[in-house]
Amino acid sequence: MHIEQIYTGCLAQGAYYIESHGEVAIVDPLREIQAYLDLAKQRGAKIKYIFETHFHADFVSGHVTLAEKTGAEIVYGPTAECGFECTVAEDGQRFALGELAIETLHTPGHTMESTSWLLRTAVDKPYALFSGDSLFLGDVGRPDLAQKAVDMTQEDLAGLLFDSTREKIMPLPDDVIVYPGHGAGSACGKNMSSETVGSIGVEKATNYALRADMTRDEFITEVTDGLLPPPKYFPMNVQMNKQGYESYEEVLKRGAHGWAPADFERIADDSGAIVLDVRAEHAFAKGHVPRSIFIGLEGNFAPWTGQLIADVKQPLLLVCKADQLEEAITRLSRVGFDNILGYLEGGMAAWIAKGKEVDTINRISSEDLAKLHGTQDGVRLFDVRTASEHKSERVQGSINEPLDLLSNNTEAFPRDGVFYLHCMRGYRSAIAQSILKSRGIHNGIDVIGGWETLQKTSIDVTEYVCPSTF
């Protein structure tokens, strides 16, 4: 038996390679499938099954392409309806893999088709649970992502998830390994551990949602409390996973087309494409294509693109360094942004060499802002961190306008005079500045280093309050 977790940090997502006697099962593969093909080839094994825990909302899976390349059988749990050839397993159904068996545990609640896959050894001992988004380490999946066709409230789904955890998961032996679908940083849960491998016993002892004395009503209340709205691109990713999608290779080929500055500008104007600049924030601040949007590869690039641009069919043109191109296209395709029309060949150096207009972001150090804050009345400072971050610790008098809501709240920012923006370190505030400038609001000044540097100055700040006490 050989098991590998293939973890992708930018999505906080775990895919899994399971092998026994030359037969392989892949659980929840990412869209770019070469890593799974290479691993199977290296080990002299053949991919037999592709198990999906549910129709993912936060990324596009590689199930369709992997099946086309290998002839492997795609397997979903009960109630799944696919727009491609797949096996819809029955609850309790087993699939032979070498000397092992993989058992279907239907665990609805996160979604209706959500299924955990239980790996059993040759002697029929439960060994590992590939729990998808039904059970995380420290949490369970959010119950508000069911498609509109499912006539159930989030409370109804939370109730189903309570039943699933109590009837299917908690009765498993304590030593069963838990391989979850996500870790900390994913939007599919709210309290996930940074660990990526656990056990049933530890989860029963530490996971708030698996308390032995918890009632169904308490579970529903606690699991639904504090849920932020899901990212806007989630429903479109679900549909791609249900109906199929263009191959990653085709998306990469189209996106890797370089355009000279004049053609780049023409295509942007003619197609309505968003110019997406993925360089570091300091490079964007120094000079960028006017009205371009900054979302840097160095941060949570794909989730922020999905949240802020939302429409995965939106045409995109990229500004990046040469060694960033493939990574940018790959990470965009993972969340369904396939309509990448190409990139600016030669980057900003080529743009500037052709005499094209260049925009910049005004910036200020935390020390200089602290001096202004102490000597001038009415310094307008906007904090684009989340509401919970701002509530826990902040500059006195700062105004909270979270980045994930900013696209619909630009009227909150003044059109006259200057104002200042900050986040934790500078990544999110640079994104915010780019959005505001694309809407014609150019009087913002970015605080270099954000909260991490502001709190070290003389500026008046609140003391830290633990978010759990709010």
pLDDT digits (tens, 9 = 90+) for 325-355: 999 999 999 999 999 999 999 999 999 999 9
Q: What is the pLDDT of residue 468?
A: 40
Same domain, 274 and 386: no
- Say whether both 138 and 224 belong to one domain: yes
The pLDDT tens digits for 381-410 are: 999 999 989 999 999 989 999 999 998 899
14 domain-assigned: yes
Whether 342 and 398 share a structural domain: no
Q: Residue 391 belongs to what domain range?
A: 362-469
Spatial distance between the Cα atoms of 276 and 284, rounded to a whole number of angstroms:
11
The CATH number given to whatever domain includes residue 34 is: 3.60.15.10
Domain stops at, among 297, 319, 353: 353
In the chain, the percentage of residues whose pLDDT exceeds 70 is: 97
Per the prediction, the chain carries an average pLDDT of: 94
pLDDT over 50 (residue 469)? no
User: pLDDT-derived band of residue 229, with 50, 70 and 90 as boundaries?
Assistant: confident
Report the distance separating Cα 19 and Cα 440, nearest Å. 55
Buried b (16+ CB within 10 A) or exposed e, 211-226: eeeeeeeebbebbbee
Is there a contact between 429 and 361 (Cβ–Cβ < 8 Å)?
no
Mean pLDDT of the 84-96 span: 98
The answer as to whether 241 is a domain residue is no
In this prediction, residue 148 carries a pLDDT of 54
Same domain, 151 and 90: yes
pTM, two decimal places: 0.91
Cα–Cα distances in angstroms (integers) from residue 452 to residues 50, 298, 433, in the given order: 44, 17, 19
CA 205 from chain center: how many Å?
28
Q: Residue 456: its pLDDT value, please?
A: 94
Per residue in 133-187, pLDDT (tens digit) is: 999 999 999 998 865 556 789 999 999 999 999 999 999 999 999 999 999 988 8
Convert the pLDDT of each residue in 119-148 to its tens digit: 999 999 999 999 999 999 999 999 988 655
95 has which bridge partners? 102
Checking if the pLDDT of 374 tops 80, the result is no
The number of distinct structural domains making up the chain is 3
